């Protein structure tokens, strides 16, 4: 299906705000909605209805659901932003949710991003892409999980400084049979092995600027 040129145009914040369906909220480059459905069967029925609408539109949202809850995320991945395609589908989903009698919960809508101060983002981005297993290339100052299951990481410019005592770090939990490969990928991307005394339960690594992360598995747990 050929996408009309106007449907490929990334919309501005004011354009989105003036036309956005009531159930959805704009957060960074996405439209998000969360619904309370009351039970599992209603959640599944709403997901099925959204899937039919998405197939008709040839535009597919990211959906998560479970007992009593459905979460929807819309964006046009080809332009990395929101387009008219997303606004139309958001309006259709809002109507389907109303028909199903489910309740939107705007207060539950959020995206979690991880911010890391750096004096040279290009130097450490490959390490963080490798250790997180993210396949998509970096865009400007941010790396993404293509499937949208895990937080993006953005890199904030700062002055060069000695590595401080780290106040937080990432634990990346992977299957036992994938842990060594993830460690090797991080090392090949410029990482440094800090400590492997507890491997294969966990390895402590650092990026080239001293920011630490752990690759962990269920081994020995």
Q: Is the separation of the CB atoms in 46 and 121 below 8 Å?
A: no
Q: Is the separation of the CB atoms in 143 and 181 below 8 Å?
A: no
Mean of pLDDT over the chain: 90
pLDDT, tens digit, for every residue of 2-15? Answer: 777 787 899 988 89
User: Between residues 48 and 117, which one has the greater pLDDT?
Assistant: 48
Quick one: average pLDDT of 165-192? 89
- Domain regions of the chain by residue span: 5-108, 113-216
For residue 93, pLDDT over 90 is answered with yes
pLDDT score at 1: 60
For residue 218, pLDDT over 90 is answered with no
Mean pLDDT lowest for which of 62-66, 74-78, 193-197, 201-205?
A: 74-78
**What one-character DSSP code corresponds to residue 140?**
T
- Phi/psi for 30 (5° steps) reads -135, 160
Q: Using pLDDT thresholds of 50, 70 and 90, give the confidence band for residue 156.
A: confident
Q: How many Cβ atoms from other residues are within 10 Å of residue 1's Cβ?
A: 5
pLDDT score at 28: 77
Query: What would the two tokens of residue 75 be?
Result: 């964006």
Place of tokens 């953005």: 154
Partnered with residue 72 across adjacent β-strands are: 33, 63
Considering only CA atoms, which of 205, 197, 199 is closest in space to residue 217?
A: 199
113-216 is classed in which CATH architecture? Roll (3.10)
Considering only CA atoms, which of 59, 73, 87 is closest in space to residue 149?
A: 73
Considering only CA atoms, which of 189, 186, 190 is closest in space to residue 203?
A: 186
Considering only CA atoms, which of 199, 175, 112 is closest in space to residue 187?
A: 199
* Alpha carbon distance 193, 210 (integer Å): 11
For residue 164, pLDDT over 80 is answered with no
Quick one: average pLDDT of 133-161? 83
Whole-model pTM: value is 0.78
Q: Is the separation of the CB atoms in 105 and 92 below 8 Å?
A: no
User: Between residues 123 and 171, which one has the greater pLDDT?
Assistant: 123
pLDDT score at 192: 97
pLDDT score at 198: 93
Domain 5-108 shares a fold with domain 113-216: no
Mean pLDDT lowest for which of 68-77, 147-156, 175-184?
A: 147-156
pLDDT, tens digit, for every residue of 180-208? Answer: 999 999 999 999 999 999 999 999 999 99
Domain boundaries 5-108, CATH class: alpha beta
**What one-character DSSP code corresponds to residue 8?**
G
Helix (H, G, I), strand (E, B) or coil at 200: coil
pLDDT score at 185: 95
Contacts 24+ apart (CB under 8 A), 101-105: 102/35, 102/36, 102/37, 102/38, 102/42, 102/46, 102/70, 103/35, 103/36, 104/22, 104/23, 104/33, 104/34, 104/35, 105/34, 105/35, 105/36
For residue 89, pLDDT over 80 is answered with yes
Quick one: average pLDDT of 139-149? 81
């Amino acid at each position: 299906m050929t996408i009309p040129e106007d449907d490929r145009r990334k919309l501005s914040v004011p354009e989105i705000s003036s036309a956005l369906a009531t159930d959805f909220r704009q957060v960074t480059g996405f439209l998000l909605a969360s619904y309370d459905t009351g039970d599992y069967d209603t959640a599944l029925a709403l997901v099925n209805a959204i899937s039919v609408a998405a197939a008709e539109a040839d535009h597919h949202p990211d959906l998560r659901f479970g007992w009593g809850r459905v979460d929807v995320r819309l964006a046009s991945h080809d332009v990395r932003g929101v387009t008219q395609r997303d606004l139309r589908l958001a309006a259709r989903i809002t109507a389907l949710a109303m028909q199903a009698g489910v309740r939107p919960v705007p207060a539950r809508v959020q995206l979690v991003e991880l911010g890391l101060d750096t004096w040279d983002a290009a130097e450490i981005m490959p390490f963080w892409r490798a250790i997180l297993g993210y396949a998509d290339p970096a865009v400007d100052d941010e790396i993404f999980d293509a499937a949208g299951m895990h937080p993006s990481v953005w890199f904030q410019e700062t002055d060069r400084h000695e590595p401080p005592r780290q106040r937080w770090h990432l634990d990346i939990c992977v299957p036992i049979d994938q842990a060594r490969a993830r460690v090797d990928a991080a090392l090949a991307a410029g990482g440094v092995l800090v400590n492997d005394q507890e491997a294969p339960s966990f390895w402590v690594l650092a990026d080239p600027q001293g920011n630490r992360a752990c690759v962990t598995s269920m081994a020995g747990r």
